[in-house]
Structure 1
Amino acid sequence: MDVIKEIIDKSAAGALDRGLKALVLSIFASIVCTLFGMLVVLLRYGSEMNIQFGY
């Protein structure tokens, strides 16, 4: 836990107060969880999906 606290303190969010740090970390965690969920759905149902790339 000390390592995570030190990384946060030395990052750009280190100068923010506790409320804003918590908001930044929660937004980051929600983005990571959303991306992980999308990866799971893609791996599970990817063969059944019609995925097209292009304009």
Structure 2
Amino acid sequence: MDVLNEIIRNSAIGPLSKGYQSFVLFLFSAIVVTLGTMLFVLLTYGRYVNVQFGY
């Protein structure tokens, strides 16, 4: 936990209030979880998707 606090303190969000820091960390975590879920779904069901390129 000390390492995480040190990284936050030395990053661009360090001087911001705790509320903004929490919001930025929540937004980053939500993006990472969404991308991980999308990767899992793509790897699991990707072979069943019919992809067509064209006009």
Deviation at 1:18, TM superposition (A): 0.2
RMSD of aligned C-alpha atoms? 1.7
TM-score under structure 1 normalisation? 0.90
1:17 aligns with 2:9: no
Identity of aligned residues (%): 55
Deviation at 1:51, TM superposition (A): 3.1
Distance 2:12 2:42 in 1: 33
- What residue ranges of structure 2 are gaps of 5+ in the alignment? none
User: Structure 1 stretches (4+) deviating beyond 4 angstroms?
Assistant: 52-55
TM-score under structure 2 normalisation? 0.90
User: Which gives a bigger RCO, structure 1 or 2 (Cα 8 Å, sep 6+)?
Assistant: 1
- Structure (1 or 2) with the larger CA radius of gyration: 2
Distance 1:53 1:4 in 2: 44
Per the alignment, residue 6 of structure 2 pairs with 6
